[in-house]
Amino acid sequence: MKLSIVAPFHNEEENVDEFFNRVLPIIRAESDSIEVVCVNDGSSDTTLAQLRGWREKEPVIRVVNLSRNFGKENALTAGLDHATGDVIIPMDSDLQDPPELIPQMIEKWREGYDVVYARRTVRNTDTLAKRMTAVWYYRLFNFIADRPIPDNTGDFRLMDKKVLGEVKKLGESARFMKGLFSWVGFRCTAVEYERPPRHDGKESLNFRNLWRLALDGITAFSTVPLKIWSYIGMGVAGIAFLYGLVIIFKTLILGIDVPGYASIMVIVLFLGGVQLLSLGVIGEYVGRIYLEVKKRPHYIVDPEDEQGSRR
């Protein structure tokens, strides 16, 4: 069994040494054939220099240096494209994905499972707002998506090489990796763990990036947001029809003069808001179509560090 670890790095200079000091002994105890594919995602600190230094000491380390910051999903895609193992484990470089869980994952793989994902049971390191939004996002995604994703899971998982082969065939530009991993299927199981805090440094994913990733996930795996506006349109039309009957009844039957300015303004503003919201949803999907038809590569590799191909 050849074991591949895939880890994106973005400004993780405080964590590089600890990452290798913890990961390498664990995976060496599991296999005689290993590789650690490290993707430098446009770091502006000393991360790249440290990775190169470790590569000089440890030949099992491979450095994939991207030409700029392409984002975590694309960096992870680059690492998976360069992994050559029979078993592939993507994980975060900040050590919130504990490498001590790897032997348990491999044991599940030996039992016959193709995918072993790590499920977080405790997320005390996250803020209350982040925990609550994560819960509601997983519920919303699994309610509307064609293929649900396991709740409280990230990219930290074990995949057999046949699973990775199918993931590589999925070429969309909006890379929501958790959704792609789930979409390909195969025989899956979970191992549970308590999510530890970052070893050091500051998390690079901010609210804006998380919001963008959440929208990418929903629009990439569901068309429900588009369909729902048909029902909203029918509902608004039904309300307008009923309101029209009320006005006709008051005017023709009861002889009551119905003031028009206020009611017309409310109706116009309401319908305008509904139309703008619907256009916004359509715009999200059209924007993703625009990105897909351009067929730009997911990432560009600096050939000085890795002879791998560009995709």
Using alpha carbons, list the distances in angstroms from residue 218 to 37, 153, 178, 266, 288: 29, 16, 12, 32, 12
Beta bridge partners of 190: 117
Q: What is the residue-wise DSSP string for 42-54? A: S-SSSHHHHHHHH
d(Cα 179, Cα 165) in Å, to the nearest integer?
A: 16
What tens-digit pLDDT sequence spans the chain (311 residues)? 888 999 898 888 888 888 888 888 888 888 888 889 989 888 888 888 888 888 888 888 888 888 888 888 888 888 898 888 889 999 888 888 888 888 988 988 888 888 888 888 766 666 666 667 767 777 776 677 677 777 778 788 898 888 888 888 887 777 778 878 888 888 888 888 887 666 555 665 556 666 676 676 676 666 677 777 777 777 777 777 777 777 777 766 666 665 665 567 667 767 777 777 777 777 777 877 777 777 778 888 877 655 433 33
d(Cα 11, Cα 15) in Å, to the nearest integer?
A: 9
d(Cα 67, Cα 301) in Å, to the nearest integer?
A: 6
Bridge-based pairing of strands 87-90 and 61-65 is: unpaired
- Reading the block at residue 72, the tokens are 């975590």
Q: In one letter, which amino acid is 12?
A: E
Superfamily for 2-221? Spore Coat Polysaccharide Biosynthesis Protein SpsA; Chain A (3.90.550.10)
- Reading the block at residue 290, the tokens are 């625009």
Instruction: State pTM to two decimals.
Output: 0.71
Q: Does residue 105 contact residue 29 with C-beta atoms inside 8 Å?
A: no
